[in-house]
Structure 1
Amino acid sequence: MASRLLLGCGAGTVGHALIERARERADPVHVVTLDPEQREFPQRDVTITAADPADPSVLAGIDGPVASAFIGTDSPERNVEIARAASDVFTSVPIVAFAGHEPTAAERETLSGLVGTVLDPTAALREYVGETVTGQAAQRARHLRSLIGDCEGELAVVLHDNPDPDAIASGVGLATLARSFGAEAGAYYFGEISHQENRALINVLDLDEDLTELDAPEDIAAFDAIALVDHSLPGVNDRLPEDTPIDIVIDHHPSPEPIEARHLDVRSEVGSTCTMIVEYFDTLEVEPSEELATALLFGIRTDTADFSRGADRLDFEAAETLLPRVDTDVLDQIERPMISQETFETLARAIRNNRVKGGVCTSCIGPLRDRDAISQAADRLLTMEGVVATLVYGFVDGTIYISARARGSELDIGETLREAFDQIGSAGGHAGMAGAQIPLGFLGEETENDDELLTEIVREVIDERFFETLSAYGRGDDRSGDEPDQWRSTLSGR
């Protein structure tokens, strides 16, 4: 199992807090520090290396895979030294650095150039005060409350099809917020909720009564107002008619098309839609229940890969706001659900069918029994040594479903999928995580009764379009003839 690497932690208050937090987690943790107090402190499931974390040779000699690295001394100067070494050694690993106490502007700038995320409490406080003064969050919240108050009938909060934890929790959250203002509201979705963690989220927290499956697009006509959460366009990743008037959009995904809504809140820099919902609760001084707080935190953690993928300052602040209200025992039950045989079979096929070209791993699963498992397969294949991007796909009910991931590179996987597949289906997402849906009808092949032949055709078409787009995206059209083994250096930013 990949370790979470803590560099310099133990040499200050932040480091000590992280070590204590690590004791509560099941993930293996490896600490590299010169701090004698920390070296002598016995920790279960925590490996301590007594060495200089600013020495590249020490970092390069760490055994086993590294999932993420955190730099956490109290000294800004020391954090810069460690960041230089870590950025040279861990080119494909998310690195987060604490700025330290009272960093200079030059130290902040240097850290920002070396690592993916810099946590600066001074800057965060200044930004928070600035936002409070300018009132952006307050303006958004007041506008949302006013619009909800205008609803004469029920507000339908529509999740994207086959919703994930971020969509489920943010949808239930917005409906709960609306009801707190006296409005009639509910969360609705098309498709299925089959992923074992998604089912655990609903079952353990008793969210069944808060979610209603819609049978047909025409059902939406019964509602007075429509809100979209975790997606932004009707008819794209939901079964609403494309011309459905939308009143509210709250989403953290960039949209490939203009969005029309009476209340529009799309912030692609935020790691989770649940984070945005927490901001509304906090600003409007509405306290979520223990069950909802637990669901919202789970949504934030899953969409940010436990704050290691695309996490923004607001995601950390939202988590901090929720933690006192969260039932950690219930959260643990949700995060460790039973995995179905169908999911194991899908993961096995993804591993068995994978193809790697220049650091990019693709896998065609073929016919799907559990479509939610392809996202788990994409995450799992991304842990393979030397792999910087994954594309996993399969088909069911006349649709090809695609899930993609990327890490530690200049590749924007969301933009790549839009370029490759938007003309034949719908695609979107973030730089590190994206998905697409493509109707099988575009193939124009009579293969309905031959899954083996259909699998080969789908693999050939999807892989070809994806790698052609990768070549153009990473190298430029004039270099599209480069050999596949040259792509790795492009995608890793070297």
Structure 2
Amino acid sequence: MVSRVVLGCGAVGQRLAEKLSDWYGIQRVVCERQSRVEALREEGVDALNADPTDPDVLVDLGDVDVVVVASDEPAQNRAIARAARTRFTDALLVAYAGVGATPAEDADLAAIADRLIDPETAFAAVVVDRVAGERAEDSLELRRVLEDIDGTLAVVMHDNPDPDAIASAVALTRLAKAVGTPAEACYFGEISHQQNRAMVNLLDLDLRNLERDDELGEFGGFALVDHSRPGVNDQLPEELHVDIVVDHHPPRGPIQGTYQDLRYDVGSTSTLLTDHFHRFGVSLDSTVATALLYGIQIDTQEFSREVSTLDFEAAATLLPHVDDVVLERIEAPSISGDTLDTMARAIENRQVRGSVLVTGAGRINDRDALPQAADKLLTMDGITTTLVYGFMEGMVYISARAQGTDIDLGETLRSAFDQIGSAGGHADMAGAQIPITDAFGEFESDEERDEAIQEVIEERFFEATEQLPASVRRTRYDDDPDRSGELEFTFDGGSELPLLLPSSGSDSDEDPTLDDGLTVADE
């Protein structure tokens, strides 16, 4: 654990010490002014009334990793910094320049300290970040739209929401309430994945589960998070007016909304909400911070998939406020017997061609067990791509994973299954769903029907994985400022896969509810 001390304590230093104590924890504050020491103690800060340049006082502090020099007086800060550098030779020394410091005094202090904080420069940087530039204007527009909502704002996640959608919805409701607009975080479907349920329960998140026939007239406005079109991966009317859209997935159709924050070059929607919290100047409590960090972790696969600089910056902003104990409990929930049974059947039924593994788990009670089985099977030696499927309530659900391969799973699943169902997702994490149509009623038994479905799914996916690597190039234009975050898929040829099952009659423009909250709109 990092040990921090604050030496000297002016007006800025007192505020800094209080924030450091709340966010990171500090070992002690040493200050000559009794009134400031008493004020800090009232805030629960360990403060000592003593001379911060006294070598005996500094020796008693023990080992220290970070020293913050924070008097208001430039001359005193230089004296404290010299004493601290002598005593704590290996510590990071951060010094506040003080009020009215001259350029020469700043230079003297900078020669002693590792980091110099100049109040004028720091203030200017904060002001520019908050009120100038494209992103600042964007946050101001979001604030204006939130303030204009007449009534309660419904912040709607995609169906069967994942951690990124849940965290984003909770965060946007907090921003709405901060500007005086009541809001509710809402979703259709269910939250069944163990980790997602643990997230909701352990953080005691207030979410509203909507039904398709619920009266929506009670709401004064609507916001969509982690998806961008009403009626597509949610059960809202397609013609619904949307006030706010915040999403990081490239859409597959026109987006309508009074306010839109669509940034495709970041790894999660939680990252975007964290950015708005910073610009709104709204304090992060441990509940929202823990939820947002977990949302970023999941959608970026622990900062290993399609992660951006802004994702790391958001995580750094959130980390001081996160409840580490709760986060650890969310990350390691208990596993149900049904999930273990699904994994066991998936392992037993696996079929492997080269580095590609396909397996059926049969009839399932929890669709969220499929991605867990796909992740587990991906750890097998020599396997780079996995697909796991199961049947539930008239639907075949599919979850696929990949690592260390040129296959784009989202495009592969679309190629294999869009003719008979709906599919989509990311390059290394995707899903699909296929309705079990009336055409299978001619079979004499469920077993015979299941065998036919198994044959079709396995053959279509194996064939798709054999064709797509040579025929599809996936290009991302992150280095081109005019096309940042834009994706392009170039097809060099290759025949269309044959239709092996009767069409479900589904509209190809409609995105399905997929495992892990993925939609066809996901890249």
The TM-score with structure 2 as length reference comes to 0.62
Q: Partners in 2 of 1:337 and 1:429 — Cα distance?
A: 25
1:247 corresponds to which residue? 243
Q: Does 1:289 align with 2:299?
A: no
SS at match of 2:310: helix
Q: Which moved more, 1:461-470 or 1:342-351?
A: 461-470
Quick one: distance in 1 between partners of 2:366 and 2:466?
A: 31
What SS does structure 2 have at the residue aligned with 1:445? helix
Distance 1:162 1:378, change over 3 A: same
Please say if residues 130 and 279 of structure 2, whose CA atoms lie closer than 8 Å, have aligned partners that are also in contact: no
Q: Deviations over 1:11-37 (max 9, x none)?
A: xxxxxxxxxxxxxxxxxxxxxxxxxxx
Instruction: Work out the CA distance in 2 between the residues paired with 1:464 and 1:348.
Output: 22
> May I ask how many residue pairs the two structures share in their alignment?
352
The residue aligned with 1:141 is: 139
2:239 is paired with a residue whose SS is coil
Q: Does 1:230 align with 2:226?
A: yes
- Residue 369 (structure 2) aligns with: 373
1:453 aligns with 2:455: no
| Match among 241, 244, 266 for residue 262 of structure 2 | 266
1:403 alignment partner in structure 2: 399
Correspondence for 1:335 among 331, 339, 342: 331
Identify which of 409, 418, 422 aligns with 2:418. 422
1:154 corresponds in structure 2 to 152
Q: 1:231 to 1:454 in 2, by over 3 A?
A: farther
Equivalent residues in 2 for 1:111-150, closer than 5 Å: 135-150=133-148
Indicate conservation of the 8 Å contact 2:358/2:388, yes or no: yes
**Which 5+ residue runs of structure 1 have no aligned equivalent?**
1-127, 482-494
Give the match for residue 188 of structure 1.
Answer: 186
Partners in 2 of 1:342 and 1:447 — Cα distance?
A: 30
Distance verdict in 2 for CA 1:455–1:407, change over 3 Å: same
Tell me if structure 2 keeps the 8 A contact 1:471–1:479.
no
The alpha-carbon distance between structure 1 residues 133 and 206, as it changes in their structure 2 partners (threshold 3 A), is: closer
Aligned amino acid, residue 262 of structure 2: V
Aligned AA (1:455): D
Aligned to 2:460: 465
Counterpart position of 1:326: 322
- Counterpart Cα distance in 1 of 2:177 and 2:138: 18
**Aligned partners of 2:470, 2:293: CA distance in 1, in Å?**
39
- Name the SS for the 1:224 alignment partner: strand
Return 5+ residue gaps in structure 2 as ranges: 1-125, 472-491, 497-523
Change (3 A) 1:304 1:445: same
For residues 181-238 of structure 1, give each alpha carbon's deviation from its aligned partner in whole angstroms, at most 9, with x where no partner exists: 111111111111121111111111111xx20111225433432222121122223322
Residue 364 of structure 1: SS of its match in structure 2? strand
Q: Distance in 2 between matches of 1:448 and 1:279?
A: 55
Shift of 1:472: 3.4
| 8 Å CA contact retained: 1:237, 1:426 | no
Q: For residues 355 and 131 of structure 1, what CA distance do their matches in structure 2 show?
A: 54
Aligned to 2:271: 275
Query: Any idea what the Cα deviations from partners look like across 1:251-289, whole Å, max 9, x if unmatched?
Result: 222223232222222223211111111111111111221
2:354 corresponds to:
358
Of 159-168 and 221-230, more deviation after overlay is shown by: 221-230
Contact 1:141 1:280 survives alignment (8 Å):
yes
* Cα distance in structure 1, aligned partners of 2:252 and 2:408: 14
C-alpha offsets along residues 437-486 of structure 1, whole Å, 9 cap, x if unaligned? 33223x622179954334323222333333343333222376669xxxxx
Matched to 2:181, the amino acid is A
Matches of residues 43-192 of structure 1 in structure 2 within 5 Å?
135-192=133-190
Question: Cα 1:147–1:130, aligned 2, differ >3 Å: closer, same or farther?
Answer: closer
1:431 pairs with 2:427: yes
Aligned AA (1:248): I
2:217, 2:275 → 1: CA distance?
30
CA contact (8 A) 2:155 2:173 kept: yes
**Greater Cα offset, 363-372 or 214-223:** 214-223
Identity rate, percent: 54
Q: What is the distance in 1 between the residues matched to 2:246 and 2:443?
A: 39
Q: Deviations over 1:321-374 (max 9, x none)?
A: 001101111111111111111111111122122222232222222222111111
Give the Cα–Cα distance (whole angstroms) in 2 for the partners of residues 349 and 356 of structure 1: 15
Matched-pair contact (CA < 8 Å) for 2:194–2:335: yes
Shift of 1:396: 1.4
Secondary structure of the equivalent of 2:215? helix
**Do the aligned residues in 2 keep the contact of 1:254 with 1:429 (CA within 8 Å)?**
no
Pairing 1:346–2:307 present: no
Measured after TM superposition, the shift of residue 134 of structure 1 is: 6.7
- Distance in 2 between residues matched to 1:412 and 1:279, nearest whole Å: 29
State the partner residue of 1:412.
Answer: 408
Map of 1:57 onto structure 2: none
Q: Separation in 2 of the partners of 1:175 and 1:352?
A: 45
Decide whether aligned partners of structure 1 residues 383 and 185 sit closer, same or farther in structure 2, where only a CA change above 3 A counts: same
In structure 2, relative to structure 1, the CA distance for the partners of 1:198 and 1:478 (3 Å cut) is closer
Q: Give the counterpart letter for 1:303 in structure 2.
A: D
The code of the aligned residue for 1:138 comes to: A
DSSP 3-state at the match of 2:433: strand
Q: Are the equivalent residues in 1 in contact too, given 2:131–2:137 (CA < 8 A)?
A: no
The answer to which of 348-357 and 446-455 deviates more is 446-455
* Distance in 1 separating the partners of 2:346 and 2:216: 37
| AA of the residue aligned to 2:166 | I
- What amino acid does structure 2 have at the position aligned with 1:204? L
Measured in 2, the distance between the counterparts of 1:428 and 1:308 equals 20
The AA in structure 2 aligned to 1:446 is: G
CA contact (8 A) 1:231 1:237 kept: yes
SS at match of 2:170: helix
Matched residue, 1:314: 310
Aligned to 1:42: none
Indicate if the aligned counterparts of 2:411 and 2:424 stay in contact, CA closer than 8 A.
yes
Q: Of residues 252, 267, 274 in structure 2, which corresponds to 1:256?
A: 252
- Code of the aligned partner of 1:193: I
Q: Is the 8 A contact 1:217 1:239 kept in 2?
A: no
Give 3-state SS (helix, strand or coil) of 2:441's partner. Answer: coil
2:243/2:257 contact within 8 Å kept: yes
Letter in 1 for 2:179: F
Q: Would you say the 8 A contact 1:217–1:241 is kept in 2?
A: no
Provide closer, same or farther for how the CA distance between residues 472 and 333 of structure 1 changes in structure 2, counting only shifts above 3 A: same
